[in-house]
A and B are shown apart, each in its own frame.
Chain A
Amino acid sequence: MMDLEKIKNKLLEKGMDDVVVHSSCQEAIQIKFVNNKVAKTGSELTESVSVFVAKDQKVAVTSLNDVSDDAINKAIDKIAKFVQCLQKKESYVGIAKGPFKYKEIEGGYDFNIKKVIDNAGDVVEEGINLALENGAKRCGGIFEVYDSNSRMVTSNDVSEEDKATRFYFSIRSLINKDASGHKYSCSRSFKDLDYKESSVRSAEIAKMAVNPSKAVYGKYDVLFDPLPFADILQHVGSSCSIFSVEAGFSFLKDKLNKQVASEEFTLFDDGTMPKGYGSVKSDEEGVPARKNILFDKGVFKTYLYNTSSAKRHGVKTTANAGLVSPNPWNVVLKKGDYSFDEMIKKIKKGVYVTNQWYTRFQNYSNGDFSTIPRDGIFLIEKGEIKNPIKGIRLNDNIPRMLKNVSAVGNKQKQIVSWEVSEVPVVTPSVLVKDVNITSPD
């Protein structure tokens, strides 16, 4: 096991002002399935170390995955010289001062992980069979298991260790090229992985999506399943980072304490959430993770900071370091009062979206964007789900859509997916009024 204290001390001896040393050891397996068969298995063991140093307000980072003493010593020598050649970041004011006390993440480690790995093939087989039994003609997806151990020391009296397990299951069921459904499940312990429900539901959506009619266009109320709305929320979450705001990647500049979203919209970032896929004991400078309210009944309450960026803005860290860019841990939309059926009944003319992809911004700073619904998409008329449709695009604006959130479901789901990969999101289904829908000629 690497001696992180030794690395830190060597760097301090070389005159560094601030030092943060992280190490990570991760074992992972993966089973990818395609057309009802296993297409590939994967297994991996990765060890790595990363080092952050600051010297006279000059800031440098290095990472390496050759963790032999020789390689680490070379990296220590190099970064100590490298940082001297840089230019000052005048706004850098240091890292958090420890020591801190940490709480274990509730449900963050599954001690049965070895057994799950031994039976991983059975999980995939069961998922495939459930999809086929429920009407899918073919299905594809992936099952991943991660077992990781990360440690950290800093020059400001921080020493922390975090063990985590993570489970991830994705399944896309198809009847034909036009009729498909895609569901994901993720968890910190295997017993919470609802891969069976994902398999069944993906096939049910595929069945509902058979024989889609032509695209629609114009203004429609859109009912987002948790999966596609999580895609929107990951962008909202990353837009809260003060780094994103300053770099131009955020629509939240000058929006503090302003009504940005509808009153239905209360959003948290919660690094401490029990069983949270992204939950951590501390941020990257050792500050214990916490829950921050980002939007309270639509009013934007705080940007996300690390120690240095917080001092620059005259506030306290929100425990979201990223030593360079603060980031959210788990973006959580507070659940509302509506059942799925109640939300459908509220819609006179609408579209139900079960998945989306390729979200791209025309302008990050004002939130103009478009995204493409994929898999099952359904027309809603007079409170009822009608026929499937295909070939549409949502062309709208994030703050406008947030203001048009008119109902939030009463059942949350934790989402990590191929598309929702920046930050885990917990969200119910959400109804947004008057979304602009377009389609090709």
Chain B
Amino acid sequence: MYEDIVNFCVDYASKKVDFVEARLEINRSEGFVLKNGVPEVSAFSNSRGIGLRIIDNKTLGFVAINEFNKDRIKKLIDKGISLTKSVSKIKQEINFSDEKVNVDNYEVKQKKSFFDIHPEEKINSLLEVDKSIDHVNNRYFSLSVNENEKYLINSEGTKIKSVIPRVSIYYLLTLLANKKSMQRYWQHGACGGWESFEKWNLRETVRKEVDEIKQVMEKGKKITPGKMDLIVDPEVTGIMTHESVGHPYEADRILGRESAQAGESFVNPDMLNTQIGSEVVNVSDDPTVPNNFGFYLYDDEGVKARRRRLIKDGKINEFLHNRQTAFELGTKSNGSARACVYNVENLVRMSNTFVDKGDHSKEELIEGVKKGILMKNFVEWNIDDVRLNQKYTACVAYLIENGKIKGLVFEPTIEITTPKLWSSVDAVGNNNEYHAATCGKGEPMQGIPVFHGGPSIRIRNVNIR
């Protein structure tokens, strides 16, 4: 029934404008919140709607519809077209790169459907995790499961159907002892069913994290600030990669389209092939890796997704593109257009961003450090709006002396520029780990599921405090 409505939207609008694209999204989700062992609220929701992009005389318009009455749809589309026409004298001319017309249908199957798991069982799963750390002063857990069904068509003939399930959990833990407090907040997420949640083995994972933080609070010493080496484990590699490689390589930022929102980029279009890191640095973004939280096979313009090699041998190799930015920079889209819900336009987004594996064992990375810090994970970070000046503060970290791990250190921090960071990497590990996050961009704000990670990496001679 809904497909008929989507087809109707495209047929109706096609008669009036030059290009139409309709994206139907149906979302079924459940959420559960536990605070200090108390189930605060449980929720489910169903939403569906159509996001329609139109191009009229090279002006871009967007119409969001969640009322599926054909007469009302006609009125909304007419209103959208009229608004688009009203700004034509100050329009930015919109052109899209020519892309292959795709027709496909794919679904990520849940091995264990989260909708078949009784709500009580889901809450019990949270309660079990909570119980394993009930000595922690404050405990907050938020679990959500979501199945996103999409039907994307455009007036060029593209027709993509997809079903993608996702499960995620966010938690915040507060530990107090000896007038000190520390917090751990983190998110786990995957594309898949309840089997992903079970695989995280959260009881054990969270209990270990709490034990480590207690150790840091008890034994961790503040370091003497200064220049030293830094090894970061995958959790930190991932956030560094996301913030200082993924974001500045988003072509819409580079072209100024996010200027008044999430900012621009220190990268210019003519910086392709510029050396930005050492030769051992290779960074990719790949939405097609199974189970990653940002998984998809076709983007929200119907372009087939593929791996993007953002940095190759330390050189800027490729930006993230949708069809508009690809046209503006004279290239092809690499399938990076994503919208987080039906009623917002697609933007250029990351999916699954990581440093490619190297060939050093973790032990080798550590052995090569005379004096330095091993940052296992982090608690706070931020970066400026052109993605140059960034900061990461460790949650659990260790001192390294003469190639050996010595003791715990308390919340060491690195504040560094992007070129300095990536040009100081001298070795890349052969380990690998990925983490989920929700990335924000656009206005209205679009939080979109992403993955990031990679191996441990060694960064030479940087200021740490």
Contacts and interface: CB of A to CB of B under 8 A. Distances in A.
Are A and B physically bound partners? yes
Interface of A: 29, 31-48, 59-66, 71, 75, 78-79, 82-83, 85-91, 117-118, 120-121, 124-125, 128, 138-142, 170-172, 174, 177, 182, 243, 246-249, 323-324, 357-366, 368-372, 374, 391, 393, 395, 418, 421, 438-441
Given A59-B42, A247-B172, A393-B382, 8 more contacts: A35-B259, A61-B43, A64-B47, A82-B42, A142-B443, A357-B385, A395-B391, A440-B417
Given A63-B45, A87-B39, A364-B183, A393 B389 contact: yes
A62 B86 CA distance: 39
B203 to A, nearest CB: 18
Contacts of A357: 263, 385
25 contacts: A31-B87, A38-B91, A40-B345, A41-B80, A59-B40, A60-B44, A65-B46, A75-B46, A83-B42, A86-B120, A142-B443, A171-B260, A248-B137, A248-B138, A323-B41, A358-B384, A368-B380, A391-B384, A393-B415, A395-B391, A438-B415, A439-B415, A440-B416, A440-B417, A440-B420
B79 A62 contact: no
B256 interface: yes
A29 B80 CA distance: 9
A187 to B, nearest CB: 18
Given A64-B47, A128-B90, A374 B41 contact: no
A362 B182 CA distance: 8
Contacts of A323: 41
B458 interface: no
Contact of A44 (B35, B47, B343, B416): B343
A65 B49 contact: yes
Nearest to B380: A362
Given A42-B64, A393-B415, A440-B416, A372 B382 contact: yes
Given A85-B118, A89-B38, A140-B256, A418 B443 contact: yes
B46 A66 contact: yes
Interface string B392-435: 01000000000000000001000111001000000000000000
Contacts of B173: 248
A408 to B, nearest CB: 27
Contacts of B345: 40, 42
B459 interface: no
Contact of B67 (A47, A91, A174): A47
A86 B123 contact: yes
B28 to A, nearest CB: 10
B124 to A, nearest CB: 8
A45 B64 CA distance: 7
B83 A120 contact: yes
Contacts of B139: 248
Interface string B39-80: 111111111110000000001111111111000100010011
B261 interface: yes
B360 interface: no
Interface residues of B, number: 88
A65 B343 CA distance: 12
A437 B87 CA distance: 44
A360 B462 contact: no
A125 B13 CA distance: 27
A190 B172 CA distance: 41
A139 to B, nearest CB: 8
A318 to B, nearest CB: 19
Nearest to B257: A34
Contacts of A174: 259
Contacts of B62: 40-43
Contacts, number: 259
A64 B389 contact: no
Contacts of B384: 358, 372, 374, 391
A161 B422 CA distance: 56
Contacts of A82: 42, 44, 119
A361 B385 CA distance: 18
Given A37-B91, A247-B138, A248-B173, A60 B41 contact: yes
A40 B61 CA distance: 5
Given A47-B67, A248-B140, A441-B463, A35 B44 contact: no
B389 A140 contact: no
B168 interface: no
B387 to A, nearest CB: 11
A120 B173 CA distance: 46
B383 interface: yes
B261 to A, nearest CB: 5
A39 B445 CA distance: 17
Given A65-B47, A85-B120, A369 B380 contact: yes
B90 A125 contact: yes
A140 B259 contact: yes
B140 A247 contact: yes
A370 B44 contact: no
B420 A35 contact: no
Contacts of B49: 46, 65
A360 B40 CA distance: 25
Contact of A121 (B87, B120, B137, B390): B87
Contact of A62 (B45, B172, B257, B343): B45
Given A41-B61, A60-B41, A247-B172, A182 B260 contact: yes
A65 B48 contact: yes
